Amino acid sequence: MMPLLPGATIGVLGGGQLGRMMALAARRMGYRVVVLDPSARCPTAPVADGVVVGALDDLAAAKHLAAQVDVITLDTEHVPADLLEALEPIAPVRPGAKVLRTIQDRLVQKQFLDALGLPQATWAPADDLEAALAKVGRPAILKVRRAGYDGKGQARVEPGVDPAAALATLRGEPAVAEALVRFAREVSVVLARGMGGEIRIYPIAENVHRRHVLHTTRAPAPMPATQRARAEGIAVTIAEALEHVGVLAVEMFELPDGQLLVNELAPRTRNSGHYTYGACATSQFEQHVRAVCGLPLGDPRALTGAVMVNLIGDLWRAGPPAWAAVLARPEARLHLYGKDAPAPGRKMGHVLLLDDDTDRALATAEQLIAQLEPT
């Protein structure tokens, strides 16, 4: 397979902030980018060479994009696998339909992880709710099988409450039940797998969520080398079993006894890998472009420690936040995604703090967020 060299055109399905940062990396390298998104005003549009407006399940629109590009990739896994399959005769799709089919349905994903013998929270299909809860216990978390993210499409079942009420909040969507995990922390492994099967792994990150949305990422996560090797081994096993091409993010729970449970897979760049854009020799966005174009992968090494803090729409309650405090800090990098409608819980941007002392950077992150809160 000949690599697609700069000058080639990359089609991106989904024009959110991940597509935007991928497009910026691709264009820096001399590629052209065409994006498919339901909105002509999506975050990727202003930095793309072309925009096809259409829903992510609109086959005619996707074929229109496919006809203009040399390779197709995505910024979300919520693109129907059947649609990807229909595009494959027109342009190569990386990652392919098989990867999406495994990942985009939580039930299939969990069966896949079980088949690999990888550890995850006790789970069961929620079709028979009583049987599922008998298996996973309470508290449990119900999660819709498809299209959930940032805690959307999730409901907790506490002991002593009617589980049917929790299930009803998911509006009849097929769901899985999972045991609530009392984790010590959440960590993620972001890696890239190239066309020839080579793998490059980024330093492991430690993530803190607030109200189900990622709040901070610290990298490298303080972690003994043996534990790091175990986490990396799990992520590599998954990437190879999927025959994935591109960036893959594997989110894990670390238990107090050190056990690692796989929580979630993303076959693309991810919020918990944003630190790589600024802190690593090759960002996850450039790495994804390299992988899907069949180029050699770049160096994933961290050049500095880093902490990322997400900027959520709530900070915009009284208008755009006052950025002076962020801009005044030499170690801070401000990223705004160009979204024109701040909404509570919506990811609007992030701040990256470059500092080898990541404890200090975490404290600075909290201080900056407090300063950005409307008074």
* Interface residues toward ligand AMP, by CB under 6 A: 121, 141, 148, 151, 178, 180-181, 186, 209, 212, 251, 263-264
- Minimum distance between the CB of residue 136 and ligand AMP, rounded to whole angstroms? 9
Looking at beta carbons only, is 10 or 249 nearer to ligand AMP? 249
Estimate to the nearest angstrom the gap between the alpha carbon of 315 and the chain centroid: 22
Strand partners, 250: 189, 265
Contacts of 341 (CB under 8 A, 6+ apart): none
Looking at beta carbons only, is 27 or 209 nearer to ligand AMP? 209
- Minimum distance between the CB of residue 233 and ligand AMP, rounded to whole angstroms? 21
User: What burial letters (b/e) apply to 235-258, b meaning 16+ CB within 10 Å?
Assistant: bbbbbeebebbbbbbbbbbbeeee
- Which 3-state string (H, E, C) describes 47-83? HCCEEEECCCCCHHHHHHHHCCCCEEEECCCCCCHHH
Burial of 115 (0-12, 13-18, 19+ CB in 10 A): exposed
Q: From its phi and psi, is residue 360 left (phi > 0), alpha (psi between -120 and 50) or beta?
A: alpha
- Minimum distance between the CB of residue 344 and ligand AMP, rounded to whole angstroms? 17
| Main-chain dihedrals φ then ψ at residue 230, nearest 5 degrees | -65, -45
| Main-chain dihedrals φ then ψ at residue 115, nearest 5 degrees | -65, -30
Nearest residue to the partner ligand AMP, using Cβ: 181
Contacts of 203 (CB under 8 A, 6+ apart): 219, 220, 221, 280, 300, 302
Contacts of 363 (CB under 8 A, 6+ apart): none
- Minimum distance between the CB of residue 150 and ligand AMP, rounded to whole angstroms? 6
Looking at beta carbons only, is 181 or 302 nearer to ligand AMP? 181
The H-assigned helical ranges of the chain are 17-28, 59-66, 81-87, 97-103, 106-115, 129-136, 163-168, 225-242, 276-279, 284-292, 324-327, 358-372
- Minimum distance between the CB of residue 374 and ligand AMP, rounded to whole angstroms? 26
Looking at beta carbons only, is 51 or 261 nearer to ligand AMP? 261
Neighbours of 357 (CB within 10 A): 11
- Minimum distance between the CB of residue 204 and ligand AMP, rounded to whole angstroms? 15
Looking at beta carbons only, is 151 or 278 nearer to ligand AMP? 151
Looking at beta carbons only, is 75 or 77 nearer to ligand AMP? 77
Q: Minimal CA–CA distance to 52: which of 147, 246, 42, 267?
A: 42
Looking at beta carbons only, is 58 or 150 nearer to ligand AMP? 150
Strand partners, 8: 6
- Minimum distance between the CB of residue 181 and ligand AMP, rounded to whole angstroms? 4
- Minimum distance between the CB of residue 138 and ligand AMP, rounded to whole angstroms? 12
Q: Minimal CA–CA distance to 275: which of 316, 223, 229, 335?
A: 335
Looking at beta carbons only, is 37 or 264 nearer to ligand AMP? 264
Q: What's the rounded Cα separation, in Å, for the pair 297 and 193? A: 8
Looking at beta carbons only, is 257 or 340 nearer to ligand AMP? 257
Looking at beta carbons only, is 141 or 231 nearer to ligand AMP? 141
Burial of 338 (0-12, 13-18, 19+ CB in 10 A): middle
- Minimum distance between the CB of residue 219 and ligand AMP, rounded to whole angstroms? 16
- Minimum distance between the CB of residue 212 and ligand AMP, rounded to whole angstroms? 5
